[in-house]
A and B are shown apart, each in its own frame.
Chain A
Amino acid sequence: MALLQISEPGESPDPHQLKRAVGIDLGTTHSLIATVRSGIAQCLSDHDGEVLLPSAVQYHKDFTVSLGRKVIERRSIDPLNCLLSFKRWMGRGHKDVDRSASPYRFIERDGLVTIETAAGPKTAVEMSAEVLRALALRAQESLGGELDGAVITVPAYFDDAQRQATKDAATLAGIKVLRLLNEPTAAAIAYGLDQGEEGLFLVYDLGGGTFDVSLLRFSRGVFEVLSTGGDSALGGDDFDARIVQAWLSDAGLSMDTLEPSQRHQWLMLAKQAKEQLTEQEAVSLEGPAGIQYLDRSRFESITKSLLDKTLVVLRRALRDASVDPGELSAAILVGGATRMPQIRRAIESLLECPVYSHLNPDEVVAIGAALQANLLLGQRSASDDWLLLDVIPLSLGIETMGGLIEKIIPRNTTIPVSRAQEFTTFKDGQTAMSLHVVQGERELVTDCRSLARFELRGLPPLSAGAARIRVNFQVDADGLLSVSAQELSSGVHASTVVKPSYGLGDEEITRMLRDGVDHANLDMQLRALKEQQVEADRMLLAVEAALEADATLLSAEEQHAIRCAMDRLRSLAAQSDHHAIRHAIHALSHQTDNFASLRMNRAVSQALSGRRVDELAS
């Protein structure tokens, strides 16, 4: 009998109980989905046998949506409604985006990047949700049923707003997110488990629109991220743009004078040239203004400053982890853009260690995510057990007097992490205060990303300086921040009103969900009911397993109280009131708090007594 959830035997005895776990790489240029079948992680292809789904969405007047390759083909005909590279706008404000480089009709709505399309205003979250929905559908068809959960990857250097936006997109697409996983970490998992080699690894991940570097140590089944760095607005796309600039200036033209459809044509041509230069020394291509020529040496010189930018980030990540290049076991190249020969050359000469790129650089992130999704759904064998310890990429802080920042959680802190800070009031009888949470490394608020403004209300009216308000910052394993506050002298929980600086509120998500299902002719209520029923089942199963294992930790009364809460939830879940089910889930959760605490305490003491939990199970 299993003692703990974590000691459940890895392989499910009944193959019908196998859970459908997927890993999704939601990329700037293309996205893909992978799963683990018979112990092997593999990417799933569409009906045409294609694994890569271009991250491109076309909105039509009748509210239908096209996706992928056909959108790319149509973008010179319908440039305003064919949206590409929208990952760059995730969690970003209207003012943050360089609108001159895009052909789209930007509008400002709640400060968020929003595009006017034939089907109305759309945000990057909604566009990403379309891509996620299509991938989920592909997996459902392939795996023969609804998905039990997904691990979605994000650039390691994504800030809180960008991560939250990714999670919101999954919610909109109706996907249960098991975890947000950093892309370089996912790649390291795929390589680490493939090679079984222990040591220090550096992952250099240059995608279509984002760049990440992560340093990891892999030893005895633990992947430990030591530091991470990156640039969430630097990628292969920028190399294409440099080529276009060079060609246009040869022809005495500039980007600003081009029609949107022409811009697309030039960028496609540049991309083609870049890709061909991986194999060839020089290329000549037929373009909108005649034959365009480009050789490697010119390509390398016009893009050198981009490559140099990545090397600065790389050296900083090494310094942050106090690692000398000589200590590295290997460097791992990830992302389609690392096929450019100058990148491999630069890494080899800088780090002087073996450079791995034998796993498909487009697929390796999704593969790693699928492996983690499988693990999180408890489908593993004792020989295939590992743990991932990741970090927060950017420091979290709050604004203090004079627009300065006080760092609360420094970058590269292992997550989950919790830190608290105490504040006091500066006026007699003050009953509210506001806090501004920011993320970044610079000293001034104006140089950092604004995440949210919190207002604490309902403080007891005390004399100035007498109140002691403890504000707790909790970053979870997805790298997402939540803030809570309490006045210590009175015990009053201040209510927090959160205004995300560049994100969607709960109401907006609900509205988008409603819009989405209206168009799909689905009933919103039905969806909510189904979600709560699935959650109720999950909860009942989890508590049942815990009771089966550890009922002896509880008194007869405690057991009875939990059983009652379970019975109540079970009977409500068979009915159709989703609010009532949610309340019953909450009640059961509350009822099991103490039990959970006892089980966890025991798990901790067992861990230290030297006996591994999986040894106890057998």
Chain B
Amino acid sequence: MNHSISELALTGSPQLYRHSFEIFGLKPQFELDKSQLTERFHQLMHAVHPDRHAGASDAERRQAMQWASRVNQAYRELLKPLLRAKLLCEIAAAAPVDLLKTAMPASFLMQQMQWREDLEAIAEHVDRLNELDVLESRLKQTEQELAAQFAQISLAFDKPDGRERATLAADLLRQWMFIEKFLDDIEQQRMQWLEVLPS
């Protein structure tokens, strides 16, 4: 089977299709006040959650479910830096960004291989959990550098050549995406070693 994920699939009010910054009434930018975001999330949920419309008509309850689903998704998209960055690229480029495309600079591919080897080597180490923390913090540092680079580039997204900049920035996001997935693998590995892996 061949398929791709599209995060947003809702029918109903056109308002639901506005991008996530608009849903939250926020200016599209990478810098974000997390406590303000959470506050707005709660305000929106107070208005749209199905529990707030339990006694309403069927049509309104259906609307409530669609809205609450959309607000949840938008909150997640704005909260996670990589998803937020992807959305900013998409707004600036006015086109979807595919983070799973594998085209990456050769130097980054080399780095990837090195990390993979490091992870394998750690499994044999006596203090493997500690070594895992060290590898994780190295990756997190790289992730932060990529985020900072992106933040800088994204400041110029509203310039006349914003569209081209956004397309270039998408390459950065693919590297970032790789790191995110690798961090997930590390967490999975850690849960396995701590013997708390879900069954």
A356 at the interface (CB under 8 A from B): no
A5 touches B60 (CB 8 A): yes
A596 touches B63 (CB 8 A): yes
Tell me the total A-B contact number using a CB cutoff of 8 A: 182
B44 touches A546 (CB 8 A): no
A423 touches B1 (CB 8 A): yes
A337 to B80, CA, bound (A): 39
Write out the residue numbers on chain A whose beta carbons fall within 8 Å of the beta carbon of B65: 416, 474, 476-477
A21 to B164, CA, bound (A): 59
A613 to B43, CA, bound (A): 10
- Interface residue tally for chain A (C-beta within 8 Å): 70
Take A316-B191, A607-B44, A613-B46 as given contacts and tell me if A416 and B72 are in contact as well, using a CB distance cutoff of 8 Å.
Answer: yes
B12 touches A5 (CB 8 A): no
B19 at the interface (CB under 8 A from A): no
Take A421-B5, A597-B13 as given contacts and tell me if A542 and B57 are in contact as well, using a CB distance cutoff of 8 Å.
Answer: yes
A29 to B10, CA, bound (A): 42
Which stretch from B48-56, B111-119, B136-144 is at the chain A interface? B48-56
A387 to B46, CA, bound (A): 7
Write out the residue numbers on chain B whose beta carbons fall within 8 Å of the beta carbon of A401: 1
Contact for A423 among B2, B10, B43, B68, CB less than 8 A: B2
B198 touches A441 (CB 8 A): yes
Write out the residue numbers on chain A whose beta carbons fall within 8 Å of the beta carbon of B125: none
Residue of B nearest to A406 (CB): B3
A604 to B195, CA, bound (A): 44
Within the complex, the shortest CB–CB distance from B35 to chain A, in Å, comes to 11
Write out the residue numbers on chain B whose beta carbons fall within 8 Å of the beta carbon of A140: none
B5 touches A546 (CB 8 A): no
Residue of A nearest to B52 (CB): A6
Write out the residue numbers on chain B whose beta carbons fall within 8 Å of the beta carbon of A376: 51, 54-55
Contact for B194 among A315, A388, A417, A538, CB less than 8 A: A315
B198 touches A5 (CB 8 A): no
B191 touches A319 (CB 8 A): yes
Write out the residue numbers on chain B whose beta carbons fall within 8 Å of the beta carbon of A588: 57
Contact mask for chain A residues 146-172; partner B; CB cutoff 8 A; 1 contact, 0 none:
000000000000000000000000000
A312 at the interface (CB under 8 A from B): yes
A335 to B60, CA, bound (A): 37
B196 touches A6 (CB 8 A): no
A424 touches B58 (CB 8 A): no
A387 touches B3 (CB 8 A): no
Contact mask for chain B residues 65-84; partner A; CB cutoff 8 A; 1 contact, 0 none:
11111101101100000000
A377 touches B10 (CB 8 A): no
Contact mask for chain A residues 410-437; partner B; CB cutoff 8 A; 1 contact, 0 none:
0101111111111110100000000000
Q: B145-199: which have CB < 8 Å to A?
A: 187, 190-191, 194-199
Write out the residue numbers on chain B whose beta carbons fall within 8 Å of the beta carbon of A601: 13, 15
A608 touches B194 (CB 8 A): no
B56 touches A389 (CB 8 A): no
Contact for B9 among A377, A424, A442, A472, CB less than 8 A: A472
Take A441-B198, A477-B50, A608-B40 as given contacts and tell me if A419 and B63 are in contact as well, using a CB distance cutoff of 8 Å.
Answer: no
Contact mask for chain A residues 173-189; partner B; CB cutoff 8 A; 1 contact, 0 none:
00000110000000000
B69 touches A179 (CB 8 A): no
Within the complex, the shortest CB–CB distance from A469 to chain B, in Å, comes to 9
A498 at the interface (CB under 8 A from B): no
Known contacts A597-B63, A599-B63; 10 further A-B pairs (Cβ under 8 A): A377-B55, A411-B198, A414-B75, A417-B69, A420-B5, A477-B68, A596-B56, A600-B64, A601-B15, A607-B43
Nearest 10 pairs of A and B residues by beta carbon: A420-B9, A441-B198, A607-B47, A596-B59, A418-B69, A316-B196, A376-B54, A589-B58, A608-B25, A596-B60
